[in-house]
Homo-oligomer: A and B are copies of this chain.
Amino acid sequence: MRPSGRQTNEMRKISIETDVTMHAEGSCLIKCGNTHVLCTATIDARVPPFLKNSGLGWVTAEYGMLPRATNTRMRREAKEGQSGRTQEIQRLIGRSLRAGVDRVALGERQIVIDCDVIQADGGTRCASITGGWVALKLAVQKLMKAGDVISDPLINPVAAVSCGIYAGQTVLDLDYPEDSEAGVDGNFVMTGGKLVEVQMSAEGSTYTRAQMDALLDLAEKGVSELTAAQLAAVS
């Protein structure tokens, strides 16, 4: 019934290749099916002004899409400015990753996660969070190896998956053909078995609490698979 022939609770193939760029302190290319996102982590000794001399660390994120990452070429944001959608996504990525960080253990430094979508087929913000955590972890491992950080500030992986109601059915990990048709869809961010963020929207539609529960069940299944892939990638 799904365009891809997947089961309703079946994820796309996940692959996470690490250390893909020579300059970044941490990096990976995450592929969730045909959605490919390059994630890099940059360690910056300077924190934002509101954290100066606080002893606390910070993690932030920026997100972008190459103009031809999509089926129809999009305007280049460098020419016309970041859209509201882009800003909303990068705020979500940063907030989600911070939920999994012990900012005292990280110490007063900032890690910037750049998530750039090379190829898009739905679920780019979820792939960015999941891949972003891997890049973040690799950068932190470098800090720990160098003795700059003593106690690991990243206990559990943070991962995200989209779920939605497509053709009347609750489905896991929507690809673009599903995403563009779904009346209800959203993103679930989890860490250590708990929820970090739920964003479930209906465009011209509504959903019941029973459906919400079913979507949460799917999300838990998807995130556990993503988390396994994250842990395999960073060890």
Chain A interface residues toward B at CB < 8 A: 21-24, 27, 34, 38, 40, 42, 44, 62, 64, 66-71, 73, 76-79, 81-82, 84-88, 91, 95, 98-99, 103, 112, 114, 116, 118-121, 186, 191-192, 194-209, 212, 216
Interface centre among A78, A82, A114, A119 (most CB of B within 10 A): A78
Report the copy number of this chain in the oligomer: 6
Given A87-B88, A88-B88, A205-B99, A67:B195 Cβ within 8 A: no
Contact A98 B204 (CB under 8 A): yes
Select A212's contact among B119, B195, B204, B206, beta carbons within 8 Å: B195
Nearest B residue to A42 via CB reads B73
- In the A-B complex, list the 10 residue pairs whose CB atoms are closest, starting with the nearest: A84-B87, A77-B78, A194-B206, A40-B68, A42-B73, A198-B200, A88-B88, A24-B68, A78-B82, A78-B78
